[in-house]
A and B are shown apart, each in its own frame.
Chain A
Amino acid sequence: MNKPFLTRWAPAFVAVVALIWAASKLAPPPRSADGMDTEAFGRLPVVFNGRVQPFDSVARNSLLQIRGKQSLREAGDGARMTAMEWLLELMTRPQAAHDRRVFRIDHPDLKSLFGLPVLDPSDPRDDGKHYSFSKLMPGLEKLREQSNVAREKADASRDPYEQAVLKLGSAMTLYLRLQSTLQPPNTSGFGAELADYTASIPGGAAAFKARFAGRDFDTNALTRTLDHAQTYLAMHGMEAPLVVPPHHPERERDNWMRMGEALLESSFPVALLRHLVNEEPLPQAEVARLIEKAGTVPLHPSIGLFARMADARVKGDATGFNGAVTEYRSVLASTFRRELSKASQEQVFSRAEPFYTSMVLYMAAFVLAGVFWFTLSEATRRAAWWLVMAAFVVHTAGLVTRMVLEGRPPVTNLYSSAVFIGWGAAGLGLLIERFWRNALGLAVAGLLSFASLIVAHYLAQAGDTMEMMRAVLDTNFWLATHVVIVTLGYASTYVAGFLSLMWVGLGLGGRAMTPDMGRSLVRMVYGILCFATLFSFTGTVLGGIWADQSWGRFWGWDPKENGALIIVLWNALILHARWGGMVRERGMHLLSIAGNIVTSWSWFGTNMLGIGLHSYGFTDAAFKGLMAFAGFNIAAILAGAWVHRGASARAATTAATAA
């Protein structure tokens, strides 16, 4: 084998290794020691947040909102629980779950509100950050009061304490909601309770009808059923995930039910109870119809199976649990094939974590590109190239899977815009590298994609990232055009800015900053800025056209619109300043670095104002992050101005070639 062949193709081996690593995460983890197939349970479909998803996603997103992590490892005893194992415990053995330290509290004032010690030395499981439900329960009322105060205020004017109060409040609400998913939280055995309820229905319904007809009725029979019914009505009111599939999928495929309402269907439906108990309005004809219907609808078969799963889980009966899960799957298989396969795919997607994998690979590629500039070894550059390629493949696979799962274009919310910016940056970086082969494109792809995926990682902590689109956004055409193009505009402006950051970085030292490299950088940044202008402009005006289609206003000076406009103006400014000879190499790079700040303002800053159509709510930490990024870029501008103070002389020749 000859040497050129080796330097050429041996580096590709890193891509093979990287892809094998990525693929290995597709495989299901080993079954837990107790033999319960929680993975199989996690694949079952439910409806939550308005969409079909696996139990696994409910578990992961909930734990993320409550604890900030997708798994649970308590200080002290060290055993790791998956999110699914935790949720299953919460749904079947709430008393045990209440002692798990799942609630993360960082704000000191919030800790003192609950009278929590800074650190309890007598408790080895106390890490000063995580608290159990039992520990927090006594302070629930106080938290509610504080939440009401905080909720009165406008989003933008809440201080960190109030934000923490609301965050904990919504975490505890979510926790309580989840508790009522499968069975009544206080049941002493769901199977037995269900048997008693079912047995009571004929007598209870007959007594109920007799009472309304003004005849004599059996009070005991009615009370027996009503006792159950009241528990189930309260359970339904907790707004747990919808676990019971519709009876007639061919007619009403979306009509999934909460366990509470599904249980009540067989005796006294929710609407009837609410009318009778809470005096909610209901037409008289409907009341009569529902009374007539009482006791005639059979329990949905899934209820009995869920009861078997819950009881088996409580008893530690792995065979019984796994059997019930398998049986439920086969019940669904004939009519809910689509939901079953979507849930399975989403579970695999969450497990594979393609964006995390590619994030690691991008970072590795950036490091290799850095090494190249010191060693100038072509093999290193090629290895970096293959790593970015591998990361890009995994990233693309993740992006496409998300699109298929959601049935949507790639960008639907802030989270997915971060994922997409990283993807666009990697694509552009690879393109640049194909032309110039000096590792600059790779370094930018590595660093920028890594950074944007980190941002995405933090944004994902808000919960479900595949939430449904509210009415006005529910249009794939505009999501696919305006949103995608404007996001590519962000991505390309960042690429130009990061290339200019490289110009500063390489100028600080090392062998890489040759005159040739300098000339390439000018051309790259110029070219990408043209590209960025095209995309940010087109994306922005397409947004205007969408607005015109939606409410008859092409331009409304909304903060997000203004942010996008500022990017367009900024890019136009750099280009015109360059054409007019007002800036040369140094000036263009410095302006292009400032473009990073401008883009971040548009992408994130405008959401922090708490006004306008695009305000999605915001956290203090994100503001600090934004400030830090802006500060870093300002420092880079100063450093660049100093390091390259001789650049203007060089620029005369560069400008001549670039023009």
Chain B
Amino acid sequence: MIRATRMKRTEARRRLVIVGNGMATESLISRLGTDHGWSVRVLGEEPVRHYNRIMLSPLLGEETDLDAITPRDDAWYRARRVTVSLGKRVARLDRQRRCLYCDDGERVDYDTLVIATGARSSMPPLPGVAELDGVSGFRSLHDVERLRGWSRARPGVRAVVVGAGLLGVEAAVGLRRLGADVTLVHRRPVLMNRQLDASASSLLEAALAARGIRVRTGCDPKRLLGDTSVSAVEVEEGGAPRTLPADLVVFATGITPNRELAQAAGLECGAGVRVDSALRTSDPHVHALGECCEFQGNTYGLVAPVQEQASVLARVLKGQRARYRDPSLVTRLKVSGLDIHSMGQVEAVAGQQTLWLSDPQAGVYKKLIIEDGRLRGVLLVGDVRHSQWYFQTHQSDRDVSALRDVLLTDPSRDDDESTPADVSVDVA
């Protein structure tokens, strides 16, 4: 008892500062819980409280509102001894002095710093992208508000979304819900090609078409046309040029880690801020996690690894030993009525076996890739009931040969071994 009290007092002096107020930060605070010795301060550049970024598509489509995607209230932060400063942009990091300089002139000292500055949309270097109005990424509340403003101003606005990855599909659906006339263009023949195969892609395409979204695959944007505002996208399609009229253009062609603050301070960076398995940067007093970081050459754009990083970092910050390794990734499309989960390999290679199930009329497709009795890839469209079971099984790498007969239909029903494997989630 006495020892605990003393520890608490000494550690209470230690200041933990987190730059960035996104999902990584929220996860980290959540996993730190109430039982930690830090005084925590969060510096958020956006003027609004932390919101759940993966809900931007429903927010854009007005299926939800900001309140609903703002999960934490003041009491929650208070309970964890966290102070949040909103609208606070950090201009510079001084590692020698262990402090940050903000745009508003405030200097913030830290004992330990966490960089969680996230990522931004990559805007391709095409003619017109930088010059014209009506061009946006799809990453932030700011992007959403801008897109909503444009759409409201002109009902039936013609929108072209470039890139049919996860974000592009979500943006297209959100815009369509706002009443925009949406064309989704994708360079490759398969939509969400990092997650889907051709069958799943055609189901997705049908589902998007049913929502009134035009999908053009094999379509590569070359330049934007317009005077001050964009008026069209010039694309190359099947080897021929073509012009798609557009009042607004959304690029969802990838993200760029926000590493500039770290880079300027001399921290080792690749595409992102380089970290080790304790999420430590080249400076032992500075950590980084989330979409801004780079670990073993990988950068991140999905929830699961960020959660795992938060989990590991929380333990490190509590003085526990923890090592981060990339978890299996599950990608979940967040579009209501259109469930797509994907993990692991998308296509089988030699020595692997493919099992599949489909109900095209109902928009259901499931595919499993098996090697030596182990799950190597899972793709679920329209029926994601057993997603979590697949995820655990994929991650635990256990032999599921005994369940093979029901692997596609009812894997968990008779599975006695279905204990959560290494997804121990610390809940504050």
The answer to whether A and B belong to the same complex is no
Interface residues of A (CB under 8 A from B): none
Interface of B with A (CB < 8 Å)? none
